[in-house]
Amino acid sequence: MAQSETAFSAYTARRHNRWVQLAAGIACMGLIANLQYAWTLFVVPMDAKHHWGQAAIQLAFSIFVVTETWLVPVEGWLVDRFGPRPVVIGGSICAALGWILDAYAPSLPVLYVAAVIAGVGAGCVYGTCVGTALKWFPDKRGLAAGLTAAGFGAGAALTVIPISNMIQHSGYEHAFVFFGVLQGASILLLATLLVRPKAPAHAAGVKRIVATKTDYTTKQMVRAPLFWVMYAMFVCVAAGGIIATAQIGPIAKEYGFAAMPVSALSVTLPLLTMTLSINNLCNGFTRPLCGFISDRIGRENTMFITFIGEGLALLGLMYFGHNPYMFMMFSAIVFLCYGDIFSNFPATCADTFGAKYAAGNAGTLYTAKGTAAILVPVASLLSAHGGWGGVFVFFACLSMLSGLSAKFILYPLRRRWILNSAVPDKSPATHFQASLGGSHE
């Protein structure tokens, strides 16, 4: 009996270890990655069967991203109230059901309903895992958020090749069902390991990162104009990356080299499959890297570098993208820079508005991704009338504008906000007004 109690205590201690919890969250994030990053593989075969038109099919992608992001504040509130396990279990069921419906959708309305269900599932997992990582690691917020988001960014890299092969040999319907069930069941098992976050006593905040000591509720946060500055920046950077995510397949097909065989590390694949694999690896790798860097050189300095980098890479796609190898290179750079927003913004949000309500607050900021996704069908229509050049230029300018805003607008405002947040009896709006004037009484 004593041995059984000792073994159970050791198992419980391991489960409550914050690194074990982080690893479980990363795995869950990797298992929902295909819902977004493998979608582009299904667009052309789906259109070939049903002739719905690519713009109409891509609307399902936008609905998915909007649902995934805009409901995260609600899901974050549920996590703060009931803990991570029941929310992730619900997400696992929705993630599986969404792809099963995609497989058998006889019409566009059913496809759109499936996108909503899959979006709810992805949002439950994403909002939970990022929010709890911020709470487990107040001393390493950038790194923890980056590692968690890396699962979502790089998870599809492991499965994009088998999904592509299954679509070619068994049809896209079979791929949807097989991977939908596999992903949902795996997330369900991992959800049983999750516990409420409780950071260890030694996890003090990193001294060189300016962070508030005040915990703001989500309602208080959205009343602060500073939050909307961050939100607008998130939208501008996310738009370019989301459009690249959704349209990289149709662009490669339009340029005429999607099926061209290319070799790397003794592996030969169609160019589109190789590009997607490299993109997902870059998208995943950059998230913990940027989070780690931002913990050391500052959030806004890291944003300045990566946001301008994304803009330059989009311009590179415009000028040099008709060369297949330059297409692969600049596409990879876009994702290398784009991934920063998923580690840097959650960490910045927790630094600015506190950790107590981090799941709901970071989830509310994450809805900016859904706002940016609305622009995906618009980009399809613009490209149909004027080619991809104008689309690349517009979103490149938005991304570089955000980089400049991080350095010259967000940096001074956020630090003055944090200084003023320590002053009692001030509303968020009053804090912001004081930050504009540089007053911190």
CA distance 237 to 399: 5
Using alpha carbons, list the distances in angstroms from residue 40 to 46, 124, 317: 10, 22, 18
Is the pLDDT confidence value at 42 over 70?
yes
Owning domain of residue 368: 2-437
Whether 430 shows a pLDDT value over 60: the answer reads no
* 245: enclosing H helix or E strand: helix 225-255
Count of CB atoms situated within 10 Å of the CB of 397: 15
pLDDT at 54: 83
User: CA 37, CA 55: separation in Å to the nearest integer?
Assistant: 17
Q: What is the mean pLDDT of residues 322-329?
A: 88
Q: What percentage of the chain reaches a pLDDT higher than 90?
A: 35
SS3 71: coil
pLDDT of residue 438: 44
Q: For residue 112, give both structure tokens.
A: 């759109």
Instruction: Work out the average pLDDT over 23-47.
Output: 89
What is d(CA 426, CA 416) in angstroms, rounded to the nearest whole number?
14
Q: What per-residue confidence (pLDDT) applies to 152?
A: 78
Which candidate, 337, 339, 346, 344, places its Cα nearest to that of 306?
337
- Whether the CB-CB separation of 331 and 307 falls below 8 Å is answered with no
On the question of pLDDT at 115 being above 50, the answer is yes
pLDDT in tens, 70-112: 888 888 788 878 889 999 999 999 999 999 999 999 999 999 9
Which whole number is the average pLDDT over 256-282?
A: 79
Lowest average pLDDT, out of 223-232, 383-392, 413-422, goes to 383-392
Q: What is the pLDDT of residues 254-266, one digit of tens each?
A: 778 877 777 776 7
pLDDT band at 13 (very low <50, low <70, confident <90, very high): low
pLDDT for residue 431: 54
What average pLDDT does range 136-154 have in this prediction? Answer: 81
Greater model confidence, 231 or 246 = 231
Higher pLDDT, 314 or 198: 314
Helix residue spans in 16-157 (DSSP H): 18-32, 34-37, 40-50, 54-70, 72-82, 84-104, 108-136, 141-154
Give pLDDT, residue 117: 96
Taking only the tens place, the pLDDT of each residue in 288-313 is 899 889 888 888 999 999 999 999 99
Greater model confidence, 137 or 3 = 137
- Residue length of the chain: 441
Q: What is the pLDDT of residue 26?
A: 92
Q: In the structure, what pLDDT confidence band is assigned to residue 11 with cuts at 50, 70 and 90?
A: very low
pLDDT digits (tens, 9 = 90+) for 327-358: 889 999 999 999 899 889 988 998 899 878 88
pLDDT band at 201 (very low <50, low <70, confident <90, very high): low
pLDDT value of residue 418: 85
Query: How much is the mean pLDDT over the chain?
Result: 83
- Dihedral pair phi/psi, residue 323, rounded to 5°: -85, 125
CATH number of the domain to which 337 belongs: 1.20.1250.20
The pair of three-digit structure tokens given for residue 102, joined into one six-digit string: 């995609």
Neighbours of 418 (CB within 10 A): 21
**Beta carbons within 8 Å of 352's beta carbon, 6+ residues apart:** 211, 212, 226, 230, 414, 417, 418
pLDDT at 376: 67
Distance, in Å, from the CA atom of 396 to the CA atom of 328, rounded to the nearest integer, reads 18
Q: Is the pLDDT of residue 363 over 80?
A: yes
Q: Decide if pLDDT at 323 tops 60.
A: yes
Classify residue 156 by its DSSP letter. G
Please answer whether residues 355 and 222 qualify as being in contact, where contact means their C-beta atoms are separated by less than 8 angstroms.
Answer: no
How much of the chain exceeds pLDDT 70, in percent? 86
CA 312/CA 123 separation, integer angstroms:
30
3-state SS class at 253: helix
Residue with tokens 């415009």: 318
- Which pLDDT value is given to residue 233? 95
- Per the rule left: phi > 0, alpha: psi between -120 and 50, beta: everything else, 361 is alpha
User: Which among 63, 81, 60 is positioned nearest to 71, based on CA atoms?
Assistant: 63
Q: Is the pLDDT of residue 208 over 50?
A: no
Q: Domain count of the chain?
A: 1
pLDDT value at residue 183: 93
